[in-house]
Amino acid sequence: MKYKINNLEQYEEQYQEALSKPKEFWNKIAQEFSWSKKWTEVCEFDMINAEFSWFKNAKTNITENCIDRHLKDKGSQTALIFEPNAPKDKAEHISYNELHKRVCKMANALLALDVKKGDRVAIYLPMIPELSIVVLACARIGAIHSVIFAGFSSSALAARINDASCKIVVTADGGFRGNKTIDLKSIVDEALKDCPCVQHVIVAERTKTEVKMHPSRDNYLNDLLQNASEVHEAEPMDAEDPLFILYTSGSTGKPKGMVHTVGGYMVYTAYTFKNVFAYEQGDVYWCTADIGWITGHSYILYGPLLNGATSILFEGVPTFPNPGRFWDVVDKFGVNQFYTAPTAIRALAKESLEYVERYKLSSLKVIGSVGEPINEEAWQWYHKNIGKGNCPIVDTWWQTETGGILISPIPHVSPQIPTYATTPLPGIQPILMDNSGAEIKESEGEGRLCIKYPWPSIARTIWGDHKRYKETYFSAYPGYYFTGDGARRNKDEMYRITGRVDDVIIVSGHNLGTAPIEDAINEHDEIAESAIVGFPHDIKGNALYGFVTTKSDIKDEEQLKKDINALISAKIGPIAKLDKIQFTSGLPKTRSGKIMRRILRKIAEGNLSDFGDISTLLNPEVVKQIKDGRDA
Ligand code: PRX
C-alpha cells in the first residue's frame, strides 16, 4: 500500500493533507482497493444529525480485497496461523488459497440455509479458524455478522440475538480456554428459548462433547460443508451497506449494537494497520484479542488480511499452561508485531520474570497496547522485558464506535512517551472540551475528548436506534463526536487518555481522575492492580475509596496503607489521598478485562445488593469477597 508513513516529515505531510483536503486524501487512499464501481462522492456528512456516508454509490466486497486480490501473488502465503489452546496440539497454517476455498464453501453453506444479503447472523464461537471463516463468509454474501464473545451468558446472548433479529446462530459444541471447557451449545440452547427470530443453528465441532441437536433447527457445520461448492462469486456490496454489528459492553443500560459499513471500514482499517504496526511483507503479526471484540475484527482479521499479512489466531489464554505462553508463541512463530491489553501485561508482570527470560523474543519489532490506559509501571515493564528496550510501543487509542485506531504513535516516527497515545493519525482531528463545553484552544490542557471531523470507519448508527446514537455521541457537544473519554494534551500536542469521564471524581471541588491515582499506587512494588472510586462524603462532597490487590501476602496492612497514601501525596498531592483502602484478592472485571467500577462504586457507597446488570461480570466470587471485607 502506498501512503505508508516512514518518517516524521511524511506524517506531517499526510496529516496536513488530510486536514486541509480530507476528501482528496481519502480519495487517493481508497484507489488502492478493488471496487467494481467507483464512488460518486468521497464523503457526505451531517455531524448534527449523525449521518455519514463514505465512498457513496461505490460497489465492492471486502472479502475480495481481503482474499481474492492476493491470490495471484501470494496464494500460497499463510494468511492465518491457528495456535490451539493446548501447546501440544499442532498449529494450523491457512494459506490465502485455502482461506479462499474455505470462505467460498462456507458462503455456499450459508446460502443453502437461505441466508440472504442483509440478514443478520449471530456468531458465538471460540477462537477457532471457523470463526474467521464464518465472519468472512457472511461478508462475502452480504449477510451482516454479529459476533458475540463466547464468554457471554445465555441471557446476554439472547438479548443480542433478539436486538438484531438474527436468523442464524453459528456456534460450536464447546470451546477450550486454558484448563476449562465451555459448553457453548447448551448456552445457545438456553438462549434460544427466548429467540423466536432464529431459524437455524450451525454447530462446529471443537471439543467433541455430546450435544443435543434439535432436528428441524440444528445442523452440524461439517454436514453443511460436505456438499458445498468451493466456488463463490462475492456479492457486490454498496460501500454503505452494513458489514457488521458489534455490541459494546455499555456501562449502563441495554448494549449498543454499533453498525459498521463496508467501504469506509475497509479503507480505514487497512490504512491504520499498515501504519500503526509498520507491517512489512513477510512479517508475522499477532494480536491476542478475541474476535468477539472490535480489536479482533479490525486487527486480527480485516486490517491484516486487507494488507495480505500473516495473522495469528490464538485460542488460549496468557497463563495456560503457564504465564510464559505468550512469549512461547512469539518465539515459536517469530512474531514481529505483538498487540495486547494492559490488563494482560499487568497480570504477566506480576509473575516471575523467569517466564519471560526463557524466551528470546528477538523477532519482535513493534509491541502494542489497547483497551485502557496503560499505567507507567506496566509500560516500563513491557518496554524493558518484552521489547528489550528497542521496540516502539504503540499505545493505540480507539473504540468499538471508531472502527479503527484514531490516536497512536507510529513506530520509529513518533516520539515515545510512556502512557501517552501521542498523536492523532492523519484524518483525525481531536479536540478537548472544558467543563463549560468550550474548546480548549491552548496546546496544553485537559478535558473531554471529542473529534471534529468524521473519518471513514466511524460507526454509522446503533442498530435499530439512531436516536440513541445521536444522543450518546453527538448531543453533548453539538457538531462533534464525543468519545466519552477524558484526555490530557501536552505542550507538544501529544494526547494521553485519562480514562472514561465518568471515572472522574470531584473531591473538595478538585477534579481527580482515577487513572493517575491508580498509576501512582501501582508504582508501589507490592501492588498488582488498583481501582479508585468515589463515595459520598459530608465535607468534601466525594471521598476516595481504593480497592487494591497485592502481588503477594501483606506483612503489615496498616503500614502498606500509609505507604500508598504517601505515594499518592508525592505523585499527585494530598488532595488525592484515599480515605478508605481495602485489600482484595482481585477486582471485578468484565469479560473483556475492564474493571467494573459500577460495582465497586456501589460497594464503596455501602449499597451491597443492587448491582444492576452483571451479565458481563467475569468473577462474581471476587464481588462477594469484596462485599464481605468492605472498609466500613
Ligand atoms: O476509554 C477508552 C478505552 O477503551 C474505550 C473503548 O472501549 P471498547 O469500545 O471496548 O474498545 C476497546 C478496543 C479499541 C475507550 O473509550 N481505551 C481504548 N484504548 C485505549 C483506551 N484508553 C486509554 N488508552 C488506550 N490506548
Say if residue 152 is exposed, middle or buried (CB neighbours under 10 Å; 0-12, 13-18, 19+): buried
The answer to whether the CB of 372 is under 6 A from ligand 1 is yes
Atom of ligand 1 nearest to the CA of 592: 10
Question: How far does residue 397's CA lie from ligand 1's centre (Å)?
Answer: 6
Structure confidence at residue 512 (pLDDT): 64
- Average pLDDT for 85-95: 98
Question: How far does residue 211's CA lie from ligand 1's centre (Å)?
Answer: 37
Mutate to test the pocket of ligand 1, among 246, 272, 372, 591 (most ligand atoms within 8 A of CB): 372
Residue 228 contacts residue 110 (beta carbons within 8 Å): no
The answer to whether the CB of 341 is under 6 A from ligand 1 is no
Structure confidence at residue 519 (pLDDT): 84
Q: Which of 294, 250, 257 shows the shortest CA–CA distance to 163?
A: 257
For residue range 206-260, list pLDDT tens digits in order: 999 999 999 999 999 999 999 899 999 999 999 999 999 999 854 444 678 999 9
The answer to whether the CB of 255 is under 6 A from ligand 1 is no
Mutate to test the pocket of ligand 1, among 258, 382, 417, 485 (most ligand atoms within 8 A of CB): 485
How does residue 543 score in pLDDT terms, banded at 50, 70 and 90? confident
Question: How far does residue 405's CA lie from ligand 1's centre (Å)?
Answer: 10
Question: How far does residue 358's CA lie from ligand 1's centre (Å)?
Answer: 32
SS3 108: helix
C-alpha cell, 599: 460495582
Residue nearest to atom 22 of ligand 1 (CA): 372
The answer to whether the CB of 500 is under 6 A from ligand 1 is yes
Residue 312 contacts residue 132 (beta carbons within 8 Å): no
Structure confidence at residue 347 (pLDDT): 86
Q: What percent of the chain has pLDDT over 90?
A: 80
Residue 166 contacts residue 194 (beta carbons within 8 Å): no
- State the Cα torsion 170-316-376-518 to the nearest 10°: 70
Say if residue 212 is exposed, middle or buried (CB neighbours under 10 Å; 0-12, 13-18, 19+): exposed
For residue range 467-495, list pLDDT tens digits in order: 999 998 999 899 999 998 899 999 999 99
Other beta carbons less than 10 A from residue 223's beta carbon: 11
Structure confidence at residue 119 (pLDDT): 98
C-alpha cell, 99: 482461506
Residue nearest to atom 5 of ligand 1 (CA): 399
What strands lie across the sheet with 310-314, from one edge to the other? 92-95, 78-83, 310-314, 284-287, 337-340, 366-370, 393-396
SS3 416: coil
- Average pLDDT for 419-431: 97
Residue nearest to atom 6 of ligand 1 (CA): 399
Amino acid letter for position 144: I
State how far the Cα of 407 lies from the Cα of 423, in Å rounded to an integer.
Answer: 6
Say if residue 18 is exposed, middle or buried (CB neighbours under 10 Å; 0-12, 13-18, 19+): buried
The answer to whether the CB of 469 is under 6 A from ligand 1 is no
371: alpha, beta or left? (left if phi > 0; alpha if psi -120 to 50): left
State how far the Cα of 474 lies from the Cα of 453, in Å rounded to an integer.
Answer: 12
What is the average pLDDT value for the chain, to the nearest integer?
93
Helical residues (DSSP H) of 212-291, grouped into ranges: 221-226, 262-276
User: How far apart, in Å, are the Cα atoms of 439 and each of 267, 421, 453, 510?
Assistant: 30, 20, 14, 20
Beta-bridge mates of residue 496:
488
- The pTM of this model reads 0.85
For residue range 561-576, list pLDDT tens digits in order: 999 999 888 777 777 8
Strand (E) or helix (H) holding 105 = helix 96-112
Mutate to test the pocket of ligand 1, among 269, 298, 397, 488 (most ligand atoms within 8 A of CB): 397
Other beta carbons less than 10 A from residue 492's beta carbon: 12
| 3-state helix, strand and coil shares in percent for the chain, rounded to the nearest 5 | 35, 25, 40
Question: How far does residue 327's CA lie from ligand 1's centre (Å)?
Answer: 24
Q: What percent of the chain has pLDDT over 70?
A: 97
Residue 505 contacts residue 512 (beta carbons within 8 Å): yes
User: Beta strand 310-314 with 284-287: parallel, antiparallel or unpaired?
Assistant: parallel
Structure confidence at residue 506 (pLDDT): 61
Residue 436: pLDDT over 90 = no
Question: How far does residue 369's CA lie from ligand 1's centre (Å)?
Answer: 10
Rg (CA), the chain: 24
Structure confidence at residue 251 (pLDDT): 40
For residue range 49-87, list pLDDT tens digits in order: 999 999 999 999 999 999 999 999 999 999 999 999 999
Question: How far does residue 151's CA lie from ligand 1's centre (Å)?
Answer: 20
Structure confidence at residue 255 (pLDDT): 76
Atom of ligand 1 nearest to the CA of 499: 1
Q: Which of 155, 130, 152, 132 shows the shortest CA–CA distance to 207?
A: 130
Q: Which domains does the chain have, with CATH numbers?
A: 504-631 (3.30.300.30)
